[in-house]
Structure 1
Amino acid sequence: MPNLSLTHVIRESSLKDNAPLLILFHGYGSDENDLFSFASELPEELFIVSARAPYPMQPYGNAWYAINFDADKGKWSDNEQAIESRDLIAKFIDEVIAKYPVNKDNVSLLGFSQGTILSYAVALTYPEKINNIIALSGYINDDLFETQPEANYKHLNFYCSHGSVDQVIPVDWARKSPEFLSALNIKHKYSEFPVGHGVAPQNFYELKEWLTNLL
C-alpha cells in the first residue's frame, strides 16, 4: 500500500472498528514479512500492521538507519538517519490511524533489534501517540530523543526482553533499560532468556500474555 509513508502489510481485527492497534518494526537487514510471521498467534482483536524500513540494502533487506563499520570508529550507527526514521514512524502512526478502523488511544509498538531502538525513541519522543511498547533484543539509544517530564510518560508500559548470550547487541546494553525507565517512573517488565539474537518460544508466550492482559 504505497499511499502511506512506509510500505506495510496488515492483519485485520476481529472487531469492525475501534480495534487496538499493534505496529511491528523489524530489525536491520530484514523486511515487513519477518515479524508478521507470528501475527496469526496474537489476539484476534488486534489490528496488526507490519512496516518495512525505508532504506533498502543490497542484495536484499532493509534498514531503519545505516550501521557503518570502519577502522577509526569501529561499528557506529547513523543517528541522523535514525532520527529521520523516528519521525517518519511517528507520521506513519498518524497515517495508519487515519486509514484503518483502529483506536487511536490504544496503540502498541513491537520492535526487534533496530526496530526496538526506534520504538524506544518514538515512544519517548512522541509519548502521546503510544500506549504499550514491546522491546525485543534492543536497547535505549539516548542520542535519539530528549527526555520529557515524567507526567508525559505516566501512561506508557514497556515489555523489554533480551537474549542473555546475544552476540549482536550485548545484554549489558539492554540491562540499562529498566534503570532508565525506573528513573522516569515508567511502568515496565524486563526479562532475559538463554538465547542469542532472537526470540525464544517462552519469550513469545510471555510477551503475548503481557500484551493480552493490557487489551
Structure 2
Amino acid sequence: MTNTSRSLHHIVRKSSLQKNAPLLIMLHGYGSDENDLFSFSSELPAELFIISARAPYPMQPYGNAWYAINFDEEQGRWNDNEQATQSRDLMARFIDEAIAEYPVDKNNVTLLGFSQGSILSYAVALTYPEKVKNIIALSGYINKDILPEDIQKKDYSNLDFYCSHGSVDQVIPVAWARQTAPFLNSLKIKNNYSEFPVGHGVAPQNFYELKDWLSKRIL
C-alpha cells in the first residue's frame, strides 16, 4: 500500500490489529529509498503497523537523502545540518500525520533508522521525546549539531533505545557509535548498545537481537 497524500511519500504494511496498533516508522539510509528497510517488514511482529518513509531530497541518478552530505577536498566530508534539522522537524510532523490517519497507538511509536536514517531518528527522539517511545538506531551516531539546546531540561523517561554498529564499519567509524551509550546514559535514557563483526550493514544476529528487543516493548 502506497500513500503520497502526506508530507512524505511512504509505503505501509497493515497490522493484524484493527485499532491501537503499535506503530513502526522506518527511515532508510543515504542514497536509498522506502523499499530498502521495508524488505524485512514481513519478518517483524504482525501486530506492528509499519510505515516506511522516503526521504525528501532526491539524488541523482537515483535514491534519496534526509540531508545532503558534501564532499570537499579542503573540508572533507560534512553534513548539511540545516537540511537535517528540517528533516528532523518534517519527521515529527509526519508522525502526527500517521497517527491521525492510521489506526495506531500514539503512545506506542517506534522509529527504526539505518545509517543517515538512524542519525535522524536520534535527533527526532531527543528533540520530540513526547512523540516516540522506542528507537532502533542501526549503524548511525548522534549528531549533536541537530539536537535542541535545552536537551538537559527535557523529559526522556519514556524513551528506550536499541543501538547497534558494525565493528569494521567503513562508512561511519565505530568510534563515533561508541559515544552513544555514554551520551544517553548522561541523560538517564534507557539504552542497549551492541556491536557485530561486520561492515556498514545489519548482520543476521543483529536482526534477531533487535527483533527480540522490539517484541518485548510493543505489546
Q: Scaled by the length of structure 2, what TM-score is found?
A: 0.97
Q: Given residue 50 of structure 1, which amino acid in structure 2 is its aligned partner?
A: S
Other-structure match for 1:51? 53
Q: Given residue 22 of structure 1, which amino acid in structure 2 is its aligned partner?
A: L
Q: Which 4+ stretches in 1 moved above 3 angstroms?
A: none
> Are residue 207 (structure 1) and residue 196 (structure 2) matched?
no
Structure 1 residues 37-65: Cα deviation after superposition (integer angstroms, max 9, x where no partner): 00000000000000000000000000000
Other-structure match for 2:93? 91
| Distance in 2 between residues matched to 1:14 and 1:52, nearest whole Å | 24
Q: Secondary structure at the match of 1:191?
A: strand
Unaligned runs of 5+ in 1: none
Structure-to-structure mapping, 1:19-34, within 5 angstroms: 19-34=21-36
Unaligned runs of 5+ in 2: none
Other-structure match for 2:190? 187
Other-structure match for 2:166? 163
| Distance in 1 between residues matched to 2:130 and 2:23, nearest whole Å | 15
Other-structure match for 1:175? 178
| Distance in 1 between residues matched to 2:178 and 2:113, nearest whole Å | 17
Q: Out of 95, 100, 103, which is 1:101 matched to?
A: 103
Structure-to-structure mapping, 1:142-153, within 5 angstroms: 142-146=144-148, 147-149=150-152, 152-153=155-156
- Once the two structures are TM-superposed, the CA of residue 149 in structure 1 deviates from its matched residue by 3.8
- Once the two structures are TM-superposed, the CA of residue 34 in structure 1 deviates from its matched residue by 0.1
Residues 150 and 185 of structure 1 are in contact (CA less than 8 Å); yes or no, is this contact kept in structure 2? no
Q: Secondary structure at the match of 2:155?
A: helix
Q: Given residue 83 of structure 2, which amino acid in structure 1 is its aligned partner?
A: Q
| Distance in 1 between residues matched to 2:61 and 2:147, nearest whole Å | 31
Other-structure match for 1:136? 138
Structure 1 residues 113-149: Cα deviation after superposition (integer angstroms, max 9, x where no partner): 0000000000000000000000000000000012434
Give the CA RMSD over aligned residues. 0.8
CA shift in 2, pair 1:166/1:93, >3 Å: same
| Distance in 1 between residues matched to 2:199 and 2:59, nearest whole Å | 23
Identity fraction in percent: 72
Other-structure match for 1:75? 77
> Are residue 7 (structure 1) and residue 13 (structure 2) matched?
no
Q: Secondary structure at the match of 1:185?
A: coil
Structure 1 residues 138-189: Cα deviation after superposition (integer angstroms, max 9, x where no partner): 0000000124346610110000000000000000000000000000000000
Q: Secondary structure at the match of 2:151?
A: coil
Q: Secondary structure at the match of 2:109?
A: strand
User: How many aligned positions are there?
Assistant: 215
Residues 67 and 77 of structure 1 are in contact (CA less than 8 Å); yes or no, is this contact kept in structure 2? yes
